[in-house]
Structure 1
Amino acid sequence: MHFIPEDIDNYVVAHSENEPKLLQQLNRETYQKILQPRMLSGHYQGRVLSMISKLVNPKNILEIGTYTGYSALCLAEGMQVNGELHTIDINEELQDFSQKYFDKSDYKNQIFQHLGNALEVIPEVDKTFDLVFIDADKENYSNYFNAIIDKLNTGGIILSDNVLWSGKILETTFKKDDTSTPALIAYNTLLKNDKRVETVVLPIRDGLTISRKL
């Protein structure tokens, strides 16, 4: 869904940083071989993630939702030379795919994949973080926030993807099988009201929230 006219959106992409070659390859192969390729962050949002990471210059990064590894590689671009990126996904079938691209990157010794339920994995990662990216099952966004807030350093940043959910967050009635929309509405309210963070919602792609720990 485009929240600005498509021709303006195209202009924005054309006048932003180019997509690195390795990520071009990852993007292309994801669309060729993987189900639901729209889950990929993609060129423009990837450059946004990269820029935010470079501004934060995090030592340690946590990503919840690896998918094929595109966003992890974008976030790693701003990581300190002695930093680590820990990324968690429950889908075992994608692990080798993403690892292949991590191994091709400059960050192959700094990216650590974890397989399993993020709510079980997060307590086992003995790190505090400067940057967290949440892009997994929407029903657990609030649970992920509560799981990571005490592991986030003061001044640290939480990035949350898909918070506008194709505009569905404006709806007041939901289909019986739609658990994602009410969960995202609750999450957006949580970020707005939680006094531990300050938050701004950016209408980038499907909505990207930046929350800073106070």
Structure 2
Amino acid sequence: MKKIIYPLQLEYISSFETQENALIKKIERFARENKVPILSKDSSKFLEQLIISLRPQKVLEIGTAIAYSAIKISRNLSASGKLYTIEKSNDSIRIANKFINEAKLKNKINLLEGNAQKIIPKLKVKFDFIFLDADKEDYKKLFELSLTLLKKGGVIFIDNLLWHGFAASKKVPKKYISSTKHIRSFNKIFMKTTSLNTSILPIGDGIGLGIKIK
């Protein structure tokens, strides 16, 4: 993954990182060894800070993967807080459940198995916070569906909006051309959504942050 900020600055910031617990390190190692994409460390730190600050009661995550972000979110929720997380890959679900059990967070996490585009319309819950990190070609539809479930004043947090730096690049490798087109198209929609106060932040792979204002 290309860096959005210069390596020297990133190295300096990383020098202040505190040690994570053994399970988080284990998940990060599993992700590296098995080439599973997870939220970058700086993005996950920002996500945790938002959860700590906002204290949401109901959180929706679209794209569980191996539960790295799910665990980081859930461990910072209040006693009554709950995370609903959606994943369609059977392999990912199996691994995610394993890590969730190890984290002893089963009571905080409701892992919904299946296609998010089919699951979201059936949810009867309004959310204070939504985290979108799924297949890029699905971003537009998932954003549209999930926005109806976001409370006024709620926050939507979206990963990969700079997409390895290619969202702003004239030269895009062949294997990224299609996904880059999807991200560029989505970014225009996201930034023009009048029901949100939006920004794209140069954190990690680019974080989209929207606050529902109407």
Give me the TM-score of the superposition, normalised by structure 1.
0.91
Aligned pair partner of 1:128 in 108, 126, 129: 126
Which residue matches 1:13?
14
1:88-127 to structure 2, matched below 5 A, reads: 88-127=86-125
Which residue matches 1:152?
150
**Uncovered stretches (5+) of structure 1, i.e. residues with no partner:** none
Which residue matches 2:193?
194
Contact kept? 1:198, 1:213, Cα under 8 Å: yes
Could you tell me which amino acid in structure 2 is paired with residue 199 of structure 1?
T
Could you tell me which amino acid in structure 2 is paired with residue 22 of structure 1?
L
Which residue matches 1:86?
84
Which residue matches 1:72?
70
- CA–CA distance in 2 between the matches of 1:137 and 1:98? 18
Deviations 1:105-128 (A, max 9, x none): 242211011121111011222211
Shift of 1:210: 0.9
Contact kept? 1:61, 1:131, Cα under 8 Å: yes
Shift of 1:16: 3.8
- CA–CA distance in 1 between the matches of 2:211 and 2:87? 24
- CA–CA distance in 2 between the matches of 1:105 and 1:11? 30
Give me the TM-score of the superposition, normalised by structure 2.
0.91
Q: Sort the Cα spacing of 1:178 and 1:129 in 2 relative to 1 into closer, same or farther, 3 A.
A: same
- CA–CA distance in 1 between the matches of 2:102 and 2:80? 18
Could you tell me which amino acid in structure 1 is paired with residue 23 of structure 2?
L
Which residue matches 2:180?
181
Root mean square deviation, CA, Å: 1.9
Could you tell me which amino acid in structure 2 is paired with residue 209 of structure 1?
G
**Uncovered stretches (5+) of structure 2, i.e. residues with no partner:** none
- CA–CA distance in 1 between the matches of 2:145 and 2:198? 18
Moved more, 10-19 or 161-170: 10-19
Higher relative contact order (CA 8 A, sep 6+): 2
- CA–CA distance in 1 between the matches of 2:27 and 2:175? 36
Shift of 1:201: 1.1
- CA–CA distance in 2 between the matches of 1:172 and 1:31? 29
Could you tell me which amino acid in structure 2 is paired with residue 103 of structure 1?
N
Which residue matches 2:202?
203
Contact kept? 2:63, 2:133, Cα under 8 Å: yes
Contact kept? 1:89, 1:117, Cα under 8 Å: yes
Contact kept? 1:17, 1:47, Cα under 8 Å: no
Shift of 1:172: 6.0
